[in-house]
Amino acid sequence: MIKRFFETAFSWSLTDFGGAYTAFSNEGLDGGFFVSERVSTTQNGAALVVFYGKSLKETYRRIMSASGIIKEEMFNFLVAEGFILKN
């Protein structure tokens, strides 16, 4: 389900390497997801991941179309706009 979300919402290419690691590419930065019992939260410390898009409204639409959950609706900050995607 998570893989389908990133493929649909962001057009990422995902490749499985075994049962515990999935690599992503096709977004200007390559990386991956590793299965772990540990959980990163804002309460215990977490990275802030920023996704760039030419149109915030189009990115929002794609996330919602991919069954994403928005934690905080669109807001202005500094010189940009954003929203918070629920993890």
pLDDT digits (tens, 9 = 90+) for 7-49: 999 888 899 998 899 998 877 778 888 888 888 787 877 877 7
Q: With 90 as the cut, is the pLDDT of residue 65 above it?
A: yes
pLDDT digits (tens, 9 = 90+) for 50-64: 777 788 889 889 999
Q: How many domains does the chain have?
A: 1
pLDDT at 50: 74
pLDDT at 80: 63
C-alpha 62, offset from chain centre: 12
Query: Stretch 67-85: mean pLDDT, rounded?
Result: 73
**Structural domain span for residue 70:** 2-85
| Stated pTM of the model | 0.69
